[in-house]
Amino acid sequence: GEQMDYEFIRVARDQAVGIITLHRPEVLNALNLKLVDELVEALENMDRDDSVRTIVLTGNEKAFAAGADIDEMADETAISMLLKDQFTVWDRIATINKPIIAAVSGYVLGGGCELMMNCDIVIASETTKIGQPEINLGVMPGAGGTQRLTKMVGKVKAMEMLLTGSPISAEEALRYGLVNKVVPVEMYLQEAVTLAKKIAAKPPLAVRLIKKSVLKAIDNPLSEGLAYERNCFYLLFASEDQTEGMRAFVEKRKPKFTGR
Ligand code: HXC
């Protein structure tokens, strides 16, 4: 449930929107192992909860997350990292069925950027700084940074960001398609929740299969993605919401979707 006692995150609800707030403000929301475990658990709980339709993931004004917890990693060895295999849990974030809308502000660095790129839509405040600074620590991204960033912004911009480690501004991120919208800092969370509510009112089965189909486009050849899309499209004709949605159009009234 939602009233679980988490140490490093907070969970809340606003109608059909589940809100997860990263909460380690004293270290700019550095992502330690426990925080990521709690985050994945909260996401999976919301994914199972039929009354939650969309999820907003946020931090605070100063930081969405300044990366993996460097103190926690500083004394690791290759073998201890291999045995701990701490980044495997990140793969579960990509399997969440419901749309995740990131509301980011301030530092979005390293693992914070990788986490943001696992979200489906991103609303950023004007003060957002996005980067992959791992190179400055003698390492490199380990939770998808080299792969997802390249697919999102293209080769040359990804190379620049990954090899210099310098963050880019919200405006630049917008230009490169890394975020959907940039708003004043007082508004970023509200803007994300408003968008989440809009999507929460859509027929949930269509929402689910659209998300899955878009993700298919990222790591499959076009022909496979198209075949997957077509099957999903046909499948939705088994839903009551398809009957209702099309009937409502024909009858010139608003549809009432049930998620069946
Ligand atoms: C642990 C961190 C941290 C991090 C900040 N802090 N980022 N602790 N891990 N990633 C802590 C600082 O040590 C400090 O704690 C407190 O947060 C405030 O940070 P300051 O540095 O004092 O703030 P400021 O001078 O404003 O600088 C902000 C900053 C800087 C530019 C964001 O903190 C910074 O460079 N952080 C590291 C960013 C980074 O390299 N991220 C990538 C991590 S590697 P104290 O106790 O001193 O007050 C990574 C690998 C991903 O993410 C692999 C997959 C997950």
225 is known as an active-site residue: no
Confidence label for 244 from pLDDT (cuts 50, 70 and 90): very high
Please state the rounded mean pLDDT for residues 186-209: 98
What mean pLDDT, rounded, does the chain reach?
97
Q: Which atom of ligand 1 is nearest to the CA of 137?
A: 40
| Pocket perturbation via mutation, ligand 1, pick of 22, 24, 28 by most ligand atoms within 8 A of CB | 28
Q: Where are the beta strands (DSSP E) in 88-236?
A: 100-104, 107-109, 121-125, 129-131, 168-169, 181-183
Please state the rounded mean pLDDT for residues 242-254: 98
114 is known as an active-site residue: yes
Task: Report whether residue 217 contacts ligand 1, using a CB cutoff of 6 Å.
Answer: no
Please state the rounded mean pLDDT for residues 159-163: 98
Among residues 63, 114, 131, 144, the one annotated as catalytic is 114
Q: Which atom of ligand 1 is nearest to the CA of 109?
A: 41
Termini Cα distance of the chain: 23
Please state the rounded mean pLDDT for residues 29-38: 98
Q: Which residues pair with 57 in a beta bridge?
A: 20, 102
Confidence label for 86 from pLDDT (cuts 50, 70 and 90): confident
Task: Report whether residue 67 contacts ligand 1, using a CB cutoff of 6 Å.
Answer: yes
4 phi and psi angles, rounded to 5 deg:
-60, 150
**pTM value > 0.90:** yes
134 is known as an active-site residue: yes
Q: Which residues pair with 101 in a beta bridge?
A: 56, 121
pLDDT at 1 over 90: no
229 is known as an active-site residue: no
Determine the distance separating the centroid of ligand 1 and the alpha carbon of 238, expressed in angstroms.
50
pLDDT at 257 over 60: yes
Determine the distance separating the centroid of ligand 1 and the alpha carbon of 109, expressed in angstroms.
9
Determine the distance separating the centroid of ligand 1 and the alpha carbon of 111, expressed in angstroms.
11
What region, left, alpha or beta, does residue 254 occupy, with left being phi > 0 and alpha being psi -120 to 50 degrees?
A: beta
Please state the rounded mean pLDDT for residues 103-119: 98
pLDDT at 3 over 80: no
Please state the rounded mean pLDDT for residues 207-219: 97
Distances (CA, A) of 42 to 80, 109, 150, 205, 213: 27, 22, 28, 21, 24
Distance CA(169)–CA(146), nearest Å, equals: 19
CA diameter of the chain: 66
- Interface confidence, given as ipTM, is 0.98
Please state the rounded mean pLDDT for residues 196-217: 98
Q: Which residue lies with its CA nearest to atom 38 of ligand 1?
A: 66
